[in-house]
Structure 1
Amino acid sequence: MATDFKRGDTGINTAEGQISGPRAARLAKQRLEDQKDYESKRQKIQDEYHRGALKIDDKFGGSATDQYEAMFKATTVGLVTADEFKKARVLAETGVGDKEGGGSGAAGGEGGDSAGGAEDAAARKKKKRKKKKLISTLSFGEEIEEDDQGEGGGDAEPPLKLGKKNPNVDTSFLPDREREKGMRDQREKLKKEWIEEQEKLKMERLEVTYSYWDGSGHRREIVLNKGITVGKFLEMVRQQLSQDFSEMRSVSSENLLYIKEDLIIPHHFSFYDLIVTKARGKSGPLFHFDVHDDIRLVHDTRIEKDESHPGKIVERRWYERNKHIFPASRWETYDPQKDYGTYTIHGGEVNEK
Structure 2
Amino acid sequence: MAHYKGAAKEAGRAATLLKKRAKEQEEAEAKKKKIEEELAIGNIHNKFATHYDAIEQSLKSSTIGLVTLNEMKARQENVIKEREQQLAKKNAEARLIEKAKEDKKKKDQQKITMLSFDMDEEEEEAEASVDKEPDKEASDNSYDAEDFREEVKREETAEERKERKRKKRLGMNPEVDTSFLPDRDRDEEENQLRELLRQEWVATQERIKNEEITITYSYWDGSGHRRQAKMKKGNTVQQFLQKCLESLRKEFNDLMPVSVDQLMYVKEDLIIPHHYSFYDFIVTKARGKSGPLFDFDAHDDIRIVNDAKVEKSESHAGKVCLRSWYERNKHIFPASRWEPYDPEKSWDNYTISDRNAVRITVK
Instruction: Provide TM-score, normalisation by structure 1.
Output: 0.46
Structure with the greater alpha carbon radius of gyration? 1
More helix by share: 2
